[in-house]
């Protein structure tokens, strides 16, 4: 049993070598059978049809003769064609729109070189109903300062929890005034936030 384990490697090599020799001898001595070419069971008939295209000739219409001298048309004069329109008191109500122009860049507050400074900060009006009910709170408003320092747009950044206080803060924010912001020597728009506190004394 011990001899078989020791001779395992020799037996494996001898077996692989002998199998390789058998395969080589089989390739050398077994004749090669060439495959027979495929034969069609039925003959294929090809048909060629010639198609000729003929272009029909149409007779061209005779050229139209143009007048050699321009003939002036007679002007028709209609008398009594002018009618008077009665005056009315109707006044057209035109809807005023802001002039359209190139879009102005909105720059974040932290990137602005010359930041806007408050010129007029109105105090919001304390709603009477909220005052009687003893409601207090703080509303933070986000304002878009335009290139002329006016407030173009307002948004509620943080609500006070009461609609009356929020509306009063929005009304005061719209009336605020700032110095315009600058970026690279150019006036730009910028968002500015401001808290509006409602406290009862």
Decide if 157 contacts 166 (C-beta within 8 A).
Answer: no
4-8, 70-74, 112-116: least confident range: 70-74
Question: Concatenated DSSP letters for 52-67?
Answer: ---PPP-PPPPPPPPP
Per-residue pLDDT at 40: 64
pLDDT digits (tens, 9 = 90+) for 109-120: 888 899 999 999
**Prediction pTM value:** 0.49
Q: Which pair of structure tokens corresponds to residue 112?
A: 């602005």
- When pLDDT is cut at 50, 70 and 90, the band that residue 124 belongs to is very high
Which of 163, 175, 155 minimizes the C-alpha distance to 137? 163
pLDDT digits (tens, 9 = 90+) for 24-53: 888 788 777 777 777 766 665 666 555 555
* Higher per-residue pLDDT: 144 or 66: 144
CATH code, 178: 3.30.2420.10
Domain count, the chain: 1
Task: Give domain status of residue 127, yes or no.
Answer: yes
Looking at the domain assignment, is residue 44 inside a domain? no
Neighbouring residues of 183: CB distance < 8 A, sequence distance ≥ 6: 105, 107, 111, 112, 113, 114
Please say whether the beta carbons of 107 and 189 come within 8 A: yes
Classify each residue of 73-84 as buried b or exposed e, where b means 16 or more C-beta atoms within 10 Å of its C-beta. eeeeeeeeeeee
Mean pLDDT of all residues belonging to the chain = 78
Domain that holds residue 173: 109-198
Kindly report, residue by residue over 171-181, the tens digit of the pLDDT.
999 999 999 99
Residue appearing with tokens 């209609």: 78
Distance CA 120, CA 118 (A): 6
pLDDT of residue 201: 79
Is residue 16 included in any domain, yes or no? no
149 within a domain of the structure (yes/no): yes
Q: Tell me whether residue 98 is in a domain.
A: no
Residue 128 lies in a domain: yes
């Amino acid at each position: 049993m011990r001899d078989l384990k020791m001779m395992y490697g020799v037996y494996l090599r001898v077996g692989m070598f002998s199998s390789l020799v058998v395969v080589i001898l089989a390739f050398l001595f077994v004749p090669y059978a060439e495959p027979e070419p495929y034969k069609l069971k039925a003959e294929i008939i090809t048909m060629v049809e010639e198609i000729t295209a003929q272009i029909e000739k149409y007779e061209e219409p005779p050229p139209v003769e143009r007048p050699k001298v321009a003939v002036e048309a007679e002007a028709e004069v209609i008398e009594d064609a002018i009618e008077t329109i009665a005056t009315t008191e109707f006044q057209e109500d035109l809807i005023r729109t802001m002039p359209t122009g190139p879009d102005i860049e909105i720059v974040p507050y932290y990137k602005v070189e010359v930041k806007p400074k408050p010129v007029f900060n109105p105090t919001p009006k304390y709603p009477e109903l909220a005052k009687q009910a003893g409601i207090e709170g703080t509303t933070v408003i986000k304002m878009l300062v335009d290139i002329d320092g006016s407030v173009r747009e307002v948004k509620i950044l943080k609500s006070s929890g009461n609609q009356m206080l929020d509306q009063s803060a929005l009304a005061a924010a719209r009336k605020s005034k700032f110095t315009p912001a600058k970026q690279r020597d150019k006036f730009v728009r910028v968002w500015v936030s401001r808290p509006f506190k409602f406290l009862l004394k």
